[in-house]
Amino acid sequence: MSQKAPQACNPALHEWRAPEILQPLHNSIPPQLLPRFDPVYVEYYSRNNAGRLHTHEVPIDEFRKNPARYTISYGRATGPDIFRISEQKCPVKGGEITVRIFEPAPKKDAEGQPKKRAAYVNFHGGGWVFGGLMADHDFCKRVVHDLEGDVVAFDVDYRLAPEHRYPIPVDDCWAAFNWIRSQKAVDFNLDLDRFAVGGVSAGGHLAAVVGHLCRDAGIPLRLQVLTVPVCDLHSSFTPEGIFERENCPYESYREMEFTAALPAARMAYFHRHFLGVPRPAPSEDDWKISPMFAPNFENLAPALVSTAELDPLCDEGECYASKLQAAGTRVELRRFPGTPHTFAALDGILSSGREYNAQVVAAMKRELLA
């Protein structure tokens, strides 16, 4: 039997090397956005967040069992110490919630009597699903300290979705605001004509709604601090909470669909958990879900509106500010360049966060102490 001739050598096979195929880390910053972010944020986010799950990617039951397992927290500057921090229970429909109270040392007026103080009522962020009194603890301390004894801060621990869906978080915040005015003004020597409300993200939404409710009820309000606020949950999502990229009226949602900190998928998650699936049928109270569509923008309190350049909510926050201005409201609007949705809580590492603190304090001094 004849032997087969050996096959010719294939040089290409000798030269072949296994290719290096790399994929971006889960939840990493998209390459096209990297140059636009503050490099300090990129450093911290890439080290602490990239490759890890966002909390909205964890089943809510699992998260509630052990929040510390899934929560990533860094970058908040420690607030300066103040005279007293305490907590009280506020009655709400179906239960009670905690309000944390940040007090400066008492001051005397020219007649030697206890000086009346302004009040700042804070609503934390977290998509109506996450967050709590830890979120803005240091911020409230800073506000009270930097207002030099003239402001008491109240931080409202409203109930969270999905266990307590809309309208419960809205109703809790309104109940707490009125409880502070009606039940705590004497205890804390508050001037009922010098109140401010504020919050970040979902907290900005809640503050905006309370601002409208104050106007409707004839309650004086000196300032709304609306930071990266959610103003419109209807236009960018289907009733089932699916992001409508093509029909969304806000370009920042399309441009920042996959951004760090608050991608559109996270907002869709918040929509579903806060409002249910489908969201409530259209009604005359829709503006409490989307204050962008409130029927009346006249005679609202002056507003400080802060937006972040690299945040899907940037355009809707600025659109809301424009509606306030068009109705005659005095508005201070500032977009912070190079920043993520969460920049206000990163004042320990980002200069933008420190600038934001200074801006809030300056606005409060102007509106509450004049």
By annotation, the residues acting in catalysis are 201, 311, 341
Please, which residues bridge with residue 152 across strands? 119
Nearest to 124 by CA among 80, 84, 81, 76: 76
CA distances, 261 to each of 28, 33, 80, 267 (Å): 10, 13, 27, 10
CA atoms within 13 A on the CB side of 322: 6
Distance between CA 118 and CA 150 in Å, rounded? 6
Peptide bond just before 302 cis, omega within 30 deg: no
CA distances, 343 to each of 4, 81, 95, 210, 367 (Å): 73, 23, 34, 24, 24
Long-range contacts of 23-32 (CB under 8 A, 24+ apart): 25/50, 25/51, 26/50, 26/51, 26/52, 26/53, 27/51, 27/52, 27/53, 27/54, 27/260, 29/259, 29/260, 30/258, 30/259
Distance between CA 88 and CA 325 in Å, rounded? 37
8 Å CB contact between 242 and 271: no
Strands (E), 113-244: 117-123, 151-157, 190-200, 223-227
Distance between CA 75 and CA 312 in Å, rounded? 21
Distance between CA 28 and CA 22 in Å, rounded? 13
